[in-house]
A and B are shown apart, each in its own frame.
Chain A
Amino acid sequence: MNVTQHPDTAWLLDYATGALSRNFELVLGAHLMACAHCRSELRAAERLGAALMMAGSAERPHLAPQRVLEAEASPSPWVTARALSAGDTDALDLQTVVSQYLDCGLGALPWRNAGRGLQIARLRSEEDERLWLVKAAPGTVLPRHSHSGSELTLVLKGAFFSGQTIYAAGDIEDANECVDHQPVVTRESECLCLAVTEGPLRFRSWLPRIAQSYLGI
């Protein structure tokens, strides 16, 4: 898989230190599956975490190693696999990504029309974060918008332009309140994206602003 657009290094540091929310972790995790470059960055960030842990001050534990070995028969504490043990297939298998997080097919999602050629389905809504699937027909021009926080958009299928840059399957567009963009889907095929946003979007024109409250974007 030829991934060319990556999230900023700061996101990988957040991933390495465990500072991400579930939704941002999910989108970055899917990108990491497809992107050897970011996996290597992440491992370096984890090496730094390990180096700082080992260089840091120590606290004498009361626990003895024998106690741990005696507890061998007891079940392991649950630890979610992340990063180092995450799959690194260099492919973004849409079915894997979707079925890992959804208990239904794409068709069964609560899609809503959000303009000509554009459908969105809200997967999660937690505090000020929203996780979306966005589906757009070939050639769709999305309304120009900015953000009130961070936005990561992972392309699952197809491609879109944002400014001079093309984002294809596996790529991430890393946007925030300083970015004002108008994604345009390429003419070749439908585009499907997984996006996480922080806070409401900010639209330039009045028409999407009216739709905004209805769609909850």
Chain B
Amino acid sequence: MLNQLMTNDIIPPVETAAVVPFPAEATRLAEVEPTVRETELLLKIRDARDRGAFADLFGRFAPKIKGYLQRTGLNAEDAENVLQDIMIAVWNKARLFDPLRASARTWIYSLARNRLIDLKRAEQREYAALERYAGETAGDAVYEEDLLARAMGQNSVALLSLIPPEQARVLLMAYVEGKSHREIARELKLPIGTVKSRARLAFQRIRGILEKNA
């Protein structure tokens, strides 16, 4: 009986085409391989103090980190200084990296974020998020893809276009402008509960997509 069930003519071929729900999935899948490679490089730095691996990792991350820092409101010069701090920390703190807890890019993102928080608090200075984005997201202007594209680059648009625009806007304000859900509610003149549920729904949806490809 079991043998019979195992044969091909009884079990229909698995339909694969129907289970790919989003067109952007393909571009996300293409990022799986680099993620693995980045983690390998960071492990070489951690275990062998491999300078070649560091140069490779630097090439992959430094421009992206600098872009991220500038989007959060730093000018090019400050971003350059903070970038240097972050890259020194990557080299010196690599021994703390645990690939079971996070991929290299998540670890490096957290390091960059922590450095930003420390600076913000130490200098008691608010890094105003780039005014041009803040202005455009604040008003009644409907969410537009090209706004997002200018703010974040085309790949982010692919990621964020998978969720409704009003949810994408909340994530954009959180991750690009570094605003808290309370600040977002104030700025969009929405009840706090509305912002919370938009953030939650958006996050759950995107998280599902990222995890399928992680």
A contact set with B: CB distance below 8 Å: 8-11, 13-14, 16-20, 22, 43-63, 65-69, 71-72, 74, 76-85, 149-150, 176-178, 198
Contacts and interface: CB of A to CB of B under 8 A. Distances in A.
Nearest to B60: A54
Nearest to A149: B182
Given A52-B159, A58-B63, A58-B67, A177 B192 contact: yes
Contact of A47 (B115, B193, B214): B214
Nearest to A47: B106
Interface string B60-82: 00111111101100001001100
Interface string B105-145: 11111111111111011000000000000000000000000
DSSP majority for the B interface?
Answer: helix
Interface residues of B, number: 78
9 contacts: A13-B199, A19-B178, A19-B183, A43-B102, A46-B113, A51-B210, A57-B71, A68-B54, A84-B106
Which 4 A-B residue pairs are closest in the complex by CB-CB distance?
A55-B155, A58-B63, A50-B109, A65-B58
Interface in B156-211: 156, 158-159, 171, 174-176, 178-183, 191-193, 195-196, 199-200, 203-204, 206-207, 210-211
Contacts of A84: 101-102, 106-107, 110
Interface of B: 31, 51, 54-55, 58-59, 62-68, 70-71, 76, 79-80, 83-89, 91-93, 96, 101-103, 105-118, 120-121, 152-153, 155-156, 158-159, 171, 174-176, 178-183, 191-193, 195-196, 199-200, 203-204, 206-207, 210-211, 214
A contacts with B: majority SS: helix
A13 B87 contact: no
A81 to B, nearest CB: 7
Interface centre among A16, A61, A83 (most CB of B within 10 A): A61
B214 A52 contact: no
B118 A79 contact: yes
B152 A56 contact: yes
Nearest to A64: B58
Contact of A63 (B87, B191, B195): B87
Contacts, number: 200
Residue among A20, A85, A198 having the largest count of chain B Cβ atoms under 10 Å: A85
A52 to B, nearest CB: 5
**Most chain A beta-carbon neighbours within 10 Å: one of B88, B91, B155, B156:** B88
Contacts of B113: 16-18, 46, 49, 82
Given A10-B196, A55-B155, A68-B58, A17 B174 contact: yes
Contacts of B59: 65
A51 B64 CA distance: 11
Contacts of B93: 76, 79
A59 B70 contact: yes
Given A13-B203, A43-B101, A61-B83, A55 B153 contact: yes
B192 A46 contact: no
A54 B31 contact: yes
Contact of A48 (B76, B101, B115, B210): B210
